[in-house]
Amino acid sequence: MRLFRYIWVPWIMVFIYSLFSVFLGQNGLFMKRNLEAEKSRISLNQTILKNAGNEYNLTKDYLLNDNDALSVYARQLGYSRNDEDFIRIMGLGISAKSELPAGQVFYALTPAHVPDKVIKLIAAFFGFIVFLFLLINDSFSIKNKLSEFGSSFRGRFSSR
């Protein structure tokens, strides 16, 4: 019956491994929460970039179709003053004074998780601790039984 208790050791190891894998493993809950936060951060950045792209397209359409908007934009960039007339010249490069931000590039962060080997080592360590506890417990119970047996054995022979 005492050997039946030692069957608990592998089951405890499996339980600890499963517990750590579910919470801290590669596909665990902690990793899932980190990946969802990363996904929301990247989707927010994509929305910001999409809005900036829409604004740039609107500005381009205004500049291509409206001469008044083109003259205002040229004055903002420093190409002309208020008292000067504006003439459209094609083929010039982009101004160095442009204040239009291009957006920010976000790279996906490498998710950090507990490797499977480490989880297996932790489970083996816990199993070893339980095994030692059962072994020490059994050795103390055997010593107690032997001391009880020895005292009762001595008691039987000392009365004669």
Q: What is the pLDDT of residues 44-96, one digit of tens each?
A: 988 988 998 898 888 888 878 877 777 777 777 777 777 776 666 666 655 54
Long-range CB contacts (< 8 A, 24+ apart) of 34-40? 34/111, 34/112, 35/111, 38/108, 38/109, 38/111
Residues 14 and 67 in one domain: no
In this structure, is residue 107 part of a structural domain? no
pLDDT tops 60 at residue 15: yes
Residues 21 and 36 in one domain: no
Q: How many domains would you assign to the chain?
A: 2
Residues 57 and 43 in one domain: yes
pLDDT higher for 69 or 38? 38
Q: What is the pLDDT of residues 88-139, one digit of tens each?
A: 666 665 554 556 666 677 777 777 888 999 999 999 999 999 999 988 988 8
Burial class of residue 127, CB neighbours in 10 A (0-12, 13-18, 19+):
buried
Burial class of residue 122, CB neighbours in 10 A (0-12, 13-18, 19+):
middle
In this structure, is residue 146 part of a structural domain? yes
Q: Among 8, 101, 120, which Cα is nearest to 56's?
A: 101
Question: pTM of the full predicted structure?
Answer: 0.56
Residues 119 and 148 in one domain: yes
In this structure, is residue 109 part of a structural domain? no
Residues 85 and 45 in one domain: yes
**What pLDDT, on a 0 to 100 scale, did the predictor assign at position 89?**
62
Q: Which domain holds residue 19?
A: 1-26+115-160
In this structure, is residue 86 part of a structural domain? yes
**What pLDDT, on a 0 to 100 scale, did the predictor assign at position 148?**
63
Residues 34 and 44 in one domain: yes
* pLDDT confidence tier of residue 159, bands split at 50, 70 and 90: low
